[in-house]
Structure 1
Amino acid sequence: AYSRACIHKKIGGLNSRTQEPRKEELARAINELRQELRLSVNYIIDVINANPGLPHISRSNYYYQTHKLDKDSGNQKLMDRIKEIFLEHRQRYGYRRIYGQLRREDYEVNHKKVQRLMQKMGLFAISIRKKRKYSSYYGVQGKIKPDLIKRKFYAIIPNRHWFTDVTEFHLKDQKLY
């Protein structure tokens, strides 16, 4: 009776946070219950599935999720080295550069594995992209207008010739004209 109440409380607590907890969260909670209460997986899953108020999980799905959780536990040494390289280069290395660095250090690892582990650890490189210089030139548009001034900017009377020039200044996060 005590164990059923503990199971109901733990799994019910998962249900209150969201509409339906993810299967990964359920598998993690079942593992915690196994260690706390020293019960079998079959018993815990039977109690969960017998209660209509709790989310259901099949045994096969539980074992699939636990295998998925354990997948990266053997990569702890590699994960530590990835984090060292990432911090050593001040968070400017993405997975491609870290993969190259690991290959130079004689690690036999796939770039997709490096990318997955970095995503799992929440390591994202700071990207600094150069902004392209603004150009309003679209190519030849229609007829080329004749040069009426012929580079003679001197006017005999005021308001005879009006000219304009647009200069663009790039500052930190803005443009000035």
Structure 2
Amino acid sequence: MRKIAIEDVDVEVHPHGIHSVRRPVSEALDTDHFAMNYFELEPGEAFSGGLHTHHDQEEVFYIRSGEATFEVADAPDSEATESVTVGAGEVIRFPAGEFQTGYNDEESEEPVVGFALGAPASKHDWEEIEAAIPCRECGEETGHGVSLSEEGQFEYTCMACGHRFAI
């Protein structure tokens, strides 16, 4: 058994600065088969760095307070997204392979507080994450493989032309 208070979990900063408070609860609990992150999103902040999917993990988001917006797509194409609003006390589930991104609208007047839950693993298999971004070489908005460099930068590989770049 392991017990912790959410406020005792250290804040982990995203390399792109997309949110100010993310607490990796599952890391603090040392879970093996379940991921849990606590978020506080100010207006304009996001849960993740953009439209993406986990091919090996389903995700559930529980919104404790505020109202989050999620963009959802079946393919890595931001033009084909559906917008879904999730309010306080509501949950939304994304199966493995469905593209999504969630955020607190910049016009919002209140923060979003919520949890991101994932299974069946407590840590991402980087080879199973696919980001939907425009390629800097071929210009196509397509799926990109994602990895994390030793310096903590995200590295992307275009699935259309193979071009690699880091942000």
- TM-score of the superposition, structure 1-length normalised? 0.19
Q: Select the structure of larger CA radius of gyration.
A: 1
Instruction: Answer 1 or 2: higher relative contact order, Cα 8 Å, separation at least 6.
Output: 2
Give the helix-richer structure, 1 or 2.
1
Give the strand-richer structure, 1 or 2.
2
